[in-house]
């Protein structure tokens, strides 16, 4: 059953367009060809969370998804390989302004600096209303071990009898 909450509009207010934040491409690890996705980051990540990119049309090699982040990450801006992308099994929807349905897409994306390096978790999120996906203003970026530590604590707490 769909949840109907009224606090939706707040969340929608803290948004900005995704276009200025990232560009994405598929990169062939065999022939090193780069293919811009020509798609929105939201759609690209969504698809990637469901299935691996198709092989390189030129050489049949494996292609990886890369994103160029142009906002300050702390680890420095640049190009990152998307190792994996996850969405919760169940997404939450509610009725927002003008009774429009809003769906919240909180991603956990594991990134690695192109050319190898430490992995970390990037947590961008979108609010999708109708056909429009709005990027959240803030995306959390955590070291893999910090992220593990947090999730571990959540699990420990949840497993404890109340």
Q: Tell me which residues touch Zn ion (CB under 5 A).
A: 28, 30-31, 56, 58-59, 61
Least Å distance, CB 24 to Zn ion, is: 17
Q: 3-state DSSP call for residue 115? A: coil
Least Å distance, CB 64 to Zn ion, is: 11
Closer residue to Zn ion (CB): 58 or 140: 58
Least Å distance, CB 42 to Zn ion, is: 26
Q: 3-state DSSP call for residue 118? A: coil
Closer residue to Zn ion (CB): 60 or 88: 60
Helix H or strand E segment including 153: helix 144-159
Closer residue to Zn ion (CB): 27 or 46: 27
Nearest to 79 by CA among 132, 2, 137, 26: 26
Closer residue to Zn ion (CB): 20 or 30: 30
Least Å distance, CB 47 to Zn ion, is: 19
Work out whether the CA dihedral 13, 15, 94, 156 comes out positive or negative.
negative
Per the CB < 8 A criterion, the answer to whether 119 and 144 are in contact is yes
């Amino acid at each position: 059953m769909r949840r109907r909450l009224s606090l939706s509009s707040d969340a929608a207010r803290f948004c900005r367009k995704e276009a200025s934040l990232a560009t994405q491409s598929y990169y062939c690890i065999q022939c090193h060809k780069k293919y811009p996705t020509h798609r929105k980051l939201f759609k690209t990540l969504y698809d990637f969370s469901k299935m691996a990119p198709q092989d390189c049309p030129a050489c049949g090699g494996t292609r990886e998804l890369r994103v160029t982040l142009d906002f300050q990450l702390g680890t420095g801006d640049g190009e990152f390989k998307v190792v994996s992308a996850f969405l919760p099994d169940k997404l939450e929807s509610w009725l927002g302004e003008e009774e429009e349905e809003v769906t919240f897409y909180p991603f956990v994306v594991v990134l690695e600096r192109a050319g190898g390096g430490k992995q970390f978790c990037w947590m961008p999120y979108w609010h999708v209303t109708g056909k429009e996906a709005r990027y959240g203003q803030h995306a959390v970026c955590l070291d893999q071990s910090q992220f593990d530590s947090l999730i571990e604590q959540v699990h420990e707490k949840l497993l404890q009898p109340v």
